[in-house]
Chain A
Amino acid sequence: MSENIYITETTIEGDEDGPLAGRTVAVKDNISTEGVRTTCGSAMLEEYVPPYDGTVIERLKAAGATIPGKTNMDEFGMGTTTETSAFGSTDNPAAPGHVPGGSSGGSAAAVAAGEADLALGTDTGGSVRCPAAFCGVVGIKPTYGLVSRYGLIAYANSLEQIGPLAPSVEEAAELLEVIAGPDERDGTTRDATDHGSDYEYAEAADGDVDGLEIGVPTELLDGADDRVVDQFWNAIDDLEARGASYHEVSLPSLEHAVEAYYVIAMSEASSNLARFDGVRYGTSGGYDGNWNEAFAAAREEGFGEEVKRRILLGTYALSAGYHDKYYKKAQDARAWIQQDFDEALSEADVLASPTMPVTPFELGESLDDPMKMYLADANTTPVNLANLPAISVPVGDDPGLPVGLQLVGPAFGEKRLIRAGSALA
């Protein structure tokens, strides 16, 4: 356990029977667990113990899973390396000395190190897929609305979903089966059966790609690391050999995805995190001055630098006079990106790209350069903006630095992604 995978080790027992009986599922520390502190990787919530279970926790328990602990993460999900955690960084079990990716770095590391059979992460702009790719495991970001967010402490609520991490596609699919499905406590959930799917995800993991048409967005290969690009094409060749075919496709809107993503995510974050003001969370009292000054002091003390940066930028983007220039423009870009995906997916069954344009950073490498970190999200963020499902599967055989391949499908097309992905892992 030298990797610093868990923020809190615990044992939450599930029911005796169920599809996950006898298996352990590590849970990212931004998903509320009754009676077990849930910190979001922040000093602000170091002592916060939720009085209720999130919906996915209830479903895990009912499925018989045991939760061995709450995993490390970038503070409030804001990071790509798990280094912004107030509880220290996590080492990458698949590439020691390197970051495990983020923000669900602890969850991916738990699976990669065998500390847990399976794990739950959350994906706002790639936070399941990035650490899956960096740690050499499988990660799924479900269609927005497939999995209840009730109990997930929001970073950017219009973008995020809870998703599974596992050593194989089939196991990830089994976990997805347990957590998916509508929830009356989350008004944004939708029933997959109303959208042409069912919930039998695991049975789709048959590796059959015969006749699969793959679109490859050229924009998502531009600027990617050579080593990553090589591994990616090797995997495409592999799929082609099994009966799939591919064509290149252009989605011009994707060039604006990172900008649009950060404006929207930061704007929502500035509001979502407003409740942490020292009254009920964080260090309270003892400050001079009026309420506003006391709130400011508590927030100055409780939040880390990256969180403060994003709250400030988000507040700015929503402010009178800038709202149209930033927030509204980002929403327009989001609509454009959704349209581009719709078009590309009308000509292809799935879209494929490297999950991350880079291989894992060395620990400490990106901390001083937020732009470098933000740009690494170029391939994952468009999917969240489009509310679509995606899977990251490990490809290639370079033992040193794992590479992930991302497949994107149409809304509620998880079974298609699982079928295709299972040909590779």
Chain B
Amino acid sequence: MAQVQERSDLAVVIGLEVHVQLETETKIFCGCSTEPAAEPNTRTCPVCLGLPGALPVLNEGAVEAAVKVGKAIDADIPETTEFHRKNYYYPDLPKNFQITQYDSPICQDGELECTVEGERRTIGIERAHLEEDPGSLAHQGGSIDTAEYTLVDYNRAGTPLMEIVTEPDFRGAAEVRAFLAKLEEVLEYLGVFDPERDGSLRIDANLSVVDADEIGADGEIDEAVLEGANRTEVKNISSHKGAEKALAYEAQRQKNAVERGREVEQETRHWDESRGITVSMRSKEEEKDYRYFREADIPPLQVSDWKEEIEIPELPDARRERFQSEYGLSEEAADKLTSTKQVADFYESVAEAFDPDLAATWVADELLGELNYRDMAITDIEERFDEVERLIELVDDEEITVKNARETVLRSMLDDGDDPDTIVDREGLGKTSGDEVQAAVEEAIEENPDAVEDYHSGEDGAINFLVGQVMQKTGGSADPGDVNGLLREALEE
């Protein structure tokens, strides 16, 4: 048995291929809707079914989305871009070839910055290209290996995909997670990606372990060393959290093998999310030959002008900095308020209507806090932003107390779905008018001579008792601070 030798001098090198479904109205080569449908094979036409004689026509919306991504990752966008066929047989592929881009991808040489444990890291992006999603398979009566038969659903076929290929710049699973979270954030900001959609993000990762000595101080690694190292390709990862788990597992598995003196087998492995392990799929001894060649049905596309014409929104990093300088927010608040584009947009509209500080408190602390507590996302209440604004307006106009707004109205809005005015009426939370409060103050003084005496003899607790009495009389709708002041005024007369 080989000697187990603990080695702290092993380093992990990871590169990613990220498949992102671009959010467009229609599919990439036909007019079918990209909305998921419950009924299989209902969002289909001759083109996405690959019927004989049907021809692909490029959806300009997908190109536009890709150009936006290219600009966001600071990539080179060539003069013209072309499509190719990737030929392989698989039952989910309607034509037994996939239309993709081979040697003239729409984006090349980009990069994306992310923060890992407080440190900025720049991840190189080798290329990003457009392609069509295949259909999906439903294995009946078992898994892919054991199923009795398999059904094909072509609803997904033809959904626009962008495949983003990074340089092997990751040195650990945590970096991968940070990068993917950042990528999702940017894509969402661009409005080209819907993270809620099932299968909208799919990740393949190439991972190998090398001697730590091979990695330079700047994180660089010699290409020849990387070529020489056996790597595994880990498939079936569908989230940034899953990626961290899968790659942490796989890194440890490879390190264990090396420490036991075994060679890491070059192979494709499947991430089994439920078991939390990677399993061997097939040995990758020979590269597949996809016989790429140009897709003559789609003429080369002039994209150079598009780059000039298409504008992208302010990206999260820039917005975060602006929130600090323009609204005087703390870094922490700015971080929270730029976490998604919806939150940031909403914050800005509230900040403009009211006051940046009030807006920050209500959006970052109250709203996000309550949503988080309920495991809800900002997108769940997107349709009700006007109601939240109304709530803030009620507070700003001092029509209800902050305490009631926070503890009763907002919670009821989220739990029962009512609008703020309805809740205020139902719970009788409208701040009582000055006359009513004044009357209650006078009543309380008249009814409680003992407490009045205690107050005059310097007993501090007496005023609190009287405030409580007034609050009771006004049904809690008076502002305790105001009541305190009014009482003191009346008692000093």
Contact = CB atoms under 8 A, between A and B. Distances in A.
A271 B289 CA distance: 13
A91 interface: no
A309 to B, nearest CB: 17
A184 interface: yes
Contacts of B306: none
Q: How large is the interface on A (under 10, 10 to 19, 20 to 34, 35 or more residues)?
A: 35 or more
A268 B57 CA distance: 18
A202 B75 CA distance: 52
Interface string A309-329: 000000100111001000100
A406 B54 CA distance: 31
Contact of B96 (A38, A185, A277): A277
A368 B336 CA distance: 76
Nearest to B298: A187
B36 interface: no
B55 A185 contact: yes
| Most chain A CB neighbours (cut-off 10 Å) among B94, B95, B291 | B291
Given A275-B95, A318-B293, A185 B89 contact: no
Chain A interface SS verdict (over half): loop
B52 A38 contact: yes
A32 B55 CA distance: 12
Interface in B44-71: 46, 50-58
A52 B51 contact: yes
Chain B interface SS verdict (over half): loop
B89 A295 contact: yes
A188 B293 contact: no
Contacts of B50: 275
Contacts of B90: 291
Given A315-B291, A327-B293, A187 B87 contact: no
B297 interface: yes
A247 to B, nearest CB: 34
B455 interface: no
B164 to A, nearest CB: 25
Contact of B46 (A31, A51, A186): A51
| Most chain B CB neighbours (cut-off 10 Å) among A40, A187, A327 | A187
A405 B53 CA distance: 31
A267 B91 CA distance: 22
| Most chain A CB neighbours (cut-off 10 Å) among B50, B55, B95 | B55
Contacts of B94: 275
Given A188-B299, A327-B293, A277 B97 contact: no
B237 to A, nearest CB: 24
Nearest to B51: A50
Contacts of B87: 270-271, 274, 318
A315 B90 CA distance: 17
Contacts of B298: 187
Contact of A291 (B54, B89, B291, B297): B89
A267 B293 CA distance: 9
Contact of A32 (B53, B89, B96, B293): B53
A157 B85 CA distance: 13
B297 A187 contact: yes
Contact of A274 (B51, B55, B95, B297): B95
Contacts of B96: 274-275, 277
Contacts of A291: 89-91
A320 B87 CA distance: 12
B55 A150 contact: yes
A292 B299 CA distance: 32
A255 to B, nearest CB: 24
B291 A188 contact: no
Given A52-B51, A187-B297, A271-B97, A320 B89 contact: no
Contacts of A185: 55, 57
A111 to B, nearest CB: 23
Interface string B275-299: 0000000000001010111001111
A153 interface: yes
Interface string A211-233: 00000000000000000000000
A187 B56 contact: yes
Contacts of B296: 157-158, 188, 268
A292 B93 CA distance: 13
Given A51-B46, A271-B85, A149 B55 contact: yes
B89 A188 contact: no
B53 A187 contact: no
A54 interface: yes
A64 interface: no
A40 B53 CA distance: 11
A50 B89 contact: no
Contacts of A32: 51-53
Contact of A187 (B58, B97, B152): B58
Interface string B5-31: 000000000000000000000000000
B469 to A, nearest CB: 79
B299 A187 contact: yes
Nearest to A145: B299
Given A271-B87, A275-B94, A188 B297 contact: yes
A351 interface: no
A327 B102 CA distance: 16
Contacts of A50: 46, 51-53
Contacts of A271: 85, 87, 97, 291, 293
Interface string B97-120: 100000000000000000000000
A154 interface: yes
A58 to B, nearest CB: 13
Nearest to A144: B296
Nearest to B56: A187
B124 to A, nearest CB: 27
Interface string B458-476: 0000000000000000000
A154 B52 CA distance: 7
Contacts of B57: 184-187
Given A291-B90, A292-B89, A323-B291, 11 more contacts: A30-B53, A32-B52, A38-B53, A54-B53, A153-B53, A154-B52, A187-B57, A187-B58, A268-B296, A281-B52, A318-B87
13 contacts: A38-B53, A50-B51, A149-B53, A151-B53, A157-B297, A187-B299, A271-B87, A271-B97, A274-B89, A274-B97, A291-B89, A291-B90, A318-B292
The 10 tightest CB contacts between A and B, nearest first, are A158-B296, A274-B96, A318-B291, A153-B52, A151-B53, A32-B53, A320-B289, A153-B53, A275-B95, A187-B57
Interface of A: 30-32, 38, 40, 45, 48, 50-52, 54, 149-154, 157-158, 184-188, 267-268, 270-271, 274-275, 277, 279, 281, 291-292, 295, 315, 318-320, 323, 327
